[in-house]
Structure formats: structure tokens, C-alpha cells
A and B are shown apart, each in its own frame.
Chain A
Amino acid sequence: MWNFLKGLVYPLFAASIGLGFLSEYTKGGATTDFEEVNQVPKTVRQNPGIYRSHYAWFTRNFPGGK
């Protein structure tokens, strides 16, 4: 019984991977993580600085290659 259950682990894992792929596939195959923010100020077009993207805080501080 235990061996039988152990044998099911991978098929179940594969099934979850398959479902994950299908889920992404129906979204057009996009895997990017992004934030959806509602009620952005209407003035952004006139004053782009009024809105600061959530990703603005993930700033890059690259000291140079290698």
C-alpha cells in the first residue's frame, strides 16, 4: 500500500505541473509576476511623477559586472 502511494507521488506532481502549464497557456504563456493596482490617479498622464510603480522600490544598485 505504502509503495503504491509512493508510486503516485510523481504522477500527481506531473499532473500539477500539467495544470500549471495549462493555466499559464490560457493566459497566453506569460509567467511574469506583476501587480495589478486599481484607482490610479487620473493625473498620471499630466504628471507622471504622481504615480510611483510598486516596482520602483525594487531598485537596482549594480556595482559593476562580475
Chain B
Amino acid sequence: MSELSCPNCGAPVPIINKASVYAVCSSCKTLSLKKDVNLEKIGTAGELADDHSIIQLGTQGNYNGTPFRVIGRIQLKFELGFWNEWHLMEGDGSSAWLGEAQGSYYYTKLNVGIPTDKIPTLEGDEDPIVITSGRRERITPGDSFYLGENWTLKEIMKATCIGGEGELPIGFQTGYEAVLLDLASEDGLFGTLDYSESPALLFSGNFSPLEELHLTGLRQEEVAYGQAQIPAKSIECKGCGASLNQFSPDFSKSLACEYCGSVMDTESDDLKIIAKFDQVSKDNVLLPLGTPIKLPNFPESKVIGVLRKSTEVDDETYTWTDYLLRYRGGYAWLNENGDNWTYFEPLPGVPKWAPGLKRIFQKRSYKWFANSDANTDFALGEFYWKVSAGEKAQLEDYISPPYMISSERTDKELFWSKGVFIPFDTMKSAVPLDTASKLRKPEIVGVCEPNPFKIRLIRNLWVAAALTAVFLVFQVYGCIKAKNQVVYEGKFKYVQTSTPNAEIGSSSFRDNSFVTDVFELKGSANENVEIQIEAPNIDNKYIFFSAALINEDTDTAYDTSIETSYYHGVDDGESWSEGSRSDSKSLAEIPPGRYYLRLESQSDFPEGWGSVYNVKIIRDVMSPAPFFLFSIFLWLPLIYTFFRSYSFESKRV
């Protein structure tokens, strides 16, 4: 480390990084340019605003294995409040930047890999037009362009430089204004196109949660990592004089009075009113300001702001409430819609598009659910931006229960968040008892409420598919193993001797029963026997057989019936046919032994007429019927579950 003298006041100006070009004197705020071993005054850095940042010069950290030290800062002011760009010196002496805004941190480096002619130029700063590849386009959040990565524009902002401190690789002028375009890639990268220079500078890197920075040497150690928060501040409303609590003075930028709807800028010492909501109602605000929230798997937080929003669909107004939660190192939202609760966290990056109106984020596919225009009806409490009455945004929701991702787009910003459905019982146990007693059990299906029927349907599909596969394996094995041994074959002729259709055994029925020769059934007692009868010439007639397979030695009969019937014709010019000229019956578990078959028949042939038929008896046959029959039984209930699941999906609100 070298130490140079301030050209203005002579105070020592330490230079930690040899590569630093600019330095700000901590005594007189003189901005100097380093020239060899001297400093040359080039301007004065303005007074830095106290933005309650926990980082300071000298703070050290480690990001993804790279150690760094904070050696400088540029402070900027933009629509949402203050924003710091901390200049970092990494272990190898190279430069990096840690952006700090609204409790979020972005670790970036200057991207020098993009040819300068590819960097888009900009015209105008209120409604910027980007000129890229010879085309002039008015840009809005959500637009995408390629700069080494596929970037999506998340935010357009105009920043004013407040001042700086420490040593910096770039010069600045207090009060200079620059347009900045915040970008995000589908892979979660973060980028900024900084138009304070021409051509613009592209800084790219990652969103980094505070705990992943492993910071030490913080300005307010007591507020970091599990220690006490900055205490709440009492504020008198400039609109109605009511006494209000500011729960998170280190974070919030505006405070909306819960009594009169006045919104005050908490960054200005005089708390000037910046907006006013016409109507404020605490009806249906189920979580009062200051309510502690202890949801499992999420950090303990406190409700610091409430927004009531609405949208109109087909002349009907739908309202919901968003609760802003603040926890150490970040913030989240709890959304209440029809008594259903969803916990939302800011989403780094922009989810990828997938075919079929789907988005993919962290390898999970989300289906498009709804587009709507949201109107902010009123606000209570404090917020990390300057809330204004009548704020409008376009919402786009994608669901993959219990998760959903939502984008909120305004003219200046595209904000993505990821939500997870909170079951009613979990929500009740996450808040104090008196608050829990006021929560109502939802009567409608939540947007990303898990569908119990779908979960069941998927599981049942797996069960059915697995069992069907097992059945198939058994069936194939059974077919291979089956002997299919023909033990008897005979050809017979049926001739009608009774009145047609006379019932067997009736007085008009003439007995035509007969028995076959004896045949032997071998094998084991659990093998089956199949009796097949085929009447190849039967035409618009039937023959019904009453059959008995009789064991000659034990005098045990196995009775069954077999029918051959085949009818066909033409009705109204349409030909039809039904029945079959053959039929078979399979008798299970027939013990081995000597058997004969007794047949008795009945038909609708006229007297003296008839037909030939063949009889075949086969030992140990594997029939395909059980496989198909049991499989059908297995899959039938799934139709019911499918309809229940479909019905649940159609009720999502």
C-alpha cells in the first residue's frame, strides 16, 4: 500500500490497489487523478448520503472462493432511492463491483469481451431509443438483445451521481446523470449497460445473496447475520399527524400512513408527502403491520407494508393483498388471494421460454396461467421504493403447483418473482395466535395450490403402469411355459331332432346327449383345460352346448356351457354381423386323470337340419383374457381420478 498526499489539503490518501487511477480524499472530498507518485485534483466529490449500508471501505468478503476487499464507492440516486456501487479489489488485484440496492447485491465485473461497435447506443434518456445493428427501436422492459449472452431488459433507470469515496478505476463527477439498463439472462446472470460513458460499459455478473458474500468488517456489525436489527423509528405523519412506526429504517424508502393514505419519502429529512391514496381501509388486512411471520424453511420476517391490488376481468373486479416482509438480508412478499396464501421471493434472471406457452426456471417447467393488469388501490406501511397512488402493472403468471413464477411489468421495470403455496394450517401456525384466529379457511382453489387429485392420479398411473408391466411379464412367461397339449379332437354333426329352440330337458326336447372317447390329462393339478368348439358352416343359427368334463375314475364332473352363434344381414342398407362360429371355455385346476366329455346341444335349426362342428380339448393353455381383464379393472378407476383432477384444475382462481 502506498500513501500519497491530497493535492488540496495535504492529508494522506492511501492507495491500496496499484491499478487505482482515481482517489477521493476522506478529509476534504477532493477527487484526484493519480499520476505516477502524485495526485492531481480534478474535482470534488459530493457528500455521501447516509443510506444505512452495512458495507464500508475496508469491508472484506469472499464470493465463490474469490477473496475481495472494498476499496471505493460511487453512490447514485435513482427513482427507488440510493444505490451503491462498491469498488472491490480481488485477491489478484483485479477490479470488481458490488452493486447494492433495495437489499439486493450484485457482484459484477467490467465485460471487455464485447466489441464496442456491438454495444447499443442510446438516444434520449426519458424514453430511450436504442440503436443497435443500424436499427432504431424504442425499448421497454422485457425486450431482449444479444451481447455475448441473450439478455432481457429488466429495468431502465436514470441515475444521478451523489458522490464517491476511496479509490476507483474510473472517474466521476458529482451530479452527473446517466441512463442505466439493467439486464438479466435466462441463466440467472445479471448485467448493467452503463451509459455514463460512450460507448456504454457492460458490467456482468451474478445476483448474490448477502450470506454468500461472507462479509467481515461491516459498518454495523450488530445488524449483520443473526444479530439485532436497527430499531424501529417513530414518525409523525405529515398528512394527519398520526404516530407511525417505521420498522425497517435501513431498508424502506417510503412510508404510507395507515390512517390517511399519505405516502412520505423517508429518505428526505423533512418527510415530504410524495403521494396520497384517496381511500385507505384496514378491512380484510389480515396481517397487521409489524406481524412476525415464522414460516418453515423461510427466514423469520416481519410485515412492514401492505398493498391492496385489483384487476378487472369481464367487468368483474378481483382484489388481492400483498404483504411486504422484511428479514435480515432481504425481503419477500406474502400474497393473499381468496384466503389462499403464496410466499413470493424476488427472482434473479428471467425464466426461459419453452414451447407451449411455458417458462422454465431451475429445470422446472411452468405453464402459463393468466395475464392481467394490476392496479394499486391503497398502501399501508413502508416500502423499498417510493410508492405512488394509481400504480399500474401488467402481470403474467405461470404455475407449476405448489410453485408459480410471476412477472410484473411497468414502463420502466420488469420484475420476476417466484412463489410457493402456503397451506392454510402452515400459515395459521406461522403467525401469532390472535392474528391466526382471524385467518379464514379458503373456500376456493388457490392459483398454485397443489392438486391432490393430480398427485394421486400421477401416483396411481405409476401403480397401474407398474402392475400392468408385472402382469405382462407374468403373461409372457405363462405363454412361453404353457404346454398347449391337444389331448382330444373330434368332428361331429348336429342334427335338429326337437322343435327348434326347445329347452333342454323340456318335454318337447329330444335328448341328443353323447360322450366322447376317453382321453388322458397329464401334468399337475393346477393346470387348466380348454374346450374349443367350432361350427364352421353355421349361418344365422346358433348351437348351444351344455358340456361336462367327467373324470372316469373319480366320477367328478366339471360343468360348463359353450355357444357358437353367427348372425348377419343388412338393415337399412347397412350390413351387420354378430357372434362367432367358434367358442372356447377354459377350466382351471383340473387334476390329471382319464376323462371324457359329455355334450348336450340345443339349436334354432329346423327339424332335420344341422351343422358339423369340431371339438378340441387342450391341456395347459395360457389364456390372454386375465391379462386384459385385470388390466382394464386396474385402469378403470383412473378415469374417475382424471376427471376429479381436471375439475380441480378448472377451479383455480
Contacts and interface: CB of A to CB of B under 8 A. Distances in A.
B264 to A, nearest CB: 48
Interface in B423-481: 452, 456, 459-460, 463-464, 467, 470-471, 474-475, 478
Interface in A32-66: 32-42, 44-45, 48-49, 51-62, 64-66
Contacts of B556: 36-40
A53 B514 contact: no
B474 A32 contact: no
Contacts of B413: none
B637 A10 contact: yes
A62 B515 contact: no
Contact of A49 (B513, B627, B634, B641): B513
A41 to B, nearest CB: 8
B576 A27 contact: no
Contacts of B528: 27-30
Given A53-B546, A53-B547, A65-B569, A28 B602 contact: no
Contacts of A65: 540, 567-569, 576-579
Given A17-B633, A36-B556, A56-B600, A26 B587 contact: no
Interface stretch (B107-115, B398-406, B503-511): B503-511
Contact of B600 (A25, A34, A45, A53): A53
A22 B546 CA distance: 29
B653 to A, nearest CB: 21
Contacts of B77: none
Given A55-B560, A59-B504, A29 B542 contact: no
Interface string A1-16: 0010011001101100
- Which size bracket describes the interface of A in this complex? 35 or more
B563 interface: yes
A53 B559 contact: yes
A28 B586 contact: yes
B137 interface: no
Contact of A21 (B554, B571, B626): B626
A53 B598 contact: yes
A30 to B, nearest CB: 4
A27 B558 contact: no
B56 interface: no
- Which size bracket describes the interface of B in this complex? 35 or more
Given A28-B527, A38-B555, A60-B602, A55 B567 contact: no
Contact of B503 (A38, A41, A61): A61
B242 to A, nearest CB: 47
B119 interface: no
A54 B505 CA distance: 11
B555 A34 contact: no
Interface in B595-632: 596, 598, 600, 602, 604, 620-627, 629-630
A37 B463 contact: no
Contact of B548 (A39, A53, A64): A53
Nearest to A38: B556
Contacts of B630: 17-18, 20-21, 24
Contact of A29 (B546, B565, B579, B626): B626
Contacts of A24: 588, 626, 630
B515 A18 contact: no
A59 B567 CA distance: 18
Contacts of A41: 555
Interface in B349-395: none
Contacts of A33: 560
A53 B547 CA distance: 7
B600 A62 contact: no
B256 interface: no
B272 interface: no
16 contacts: A10-B456, A17-B633, A24-B626, A25-B475, A28-B478, A31-B626, A35-B560, A40-B557, A41-B555, A44-B515, A45-B552, A52-B513, A55-B561, A58-B546, A59-B504, A62-B501
Given A53-B561, A65-B577, 11 more contacts: A10-B637, A18-B471, A20-B630, A27-B589, A31-B626, A35-B560, A39-B556, A54-B559, A60-B602, A61-B501, A66-B567
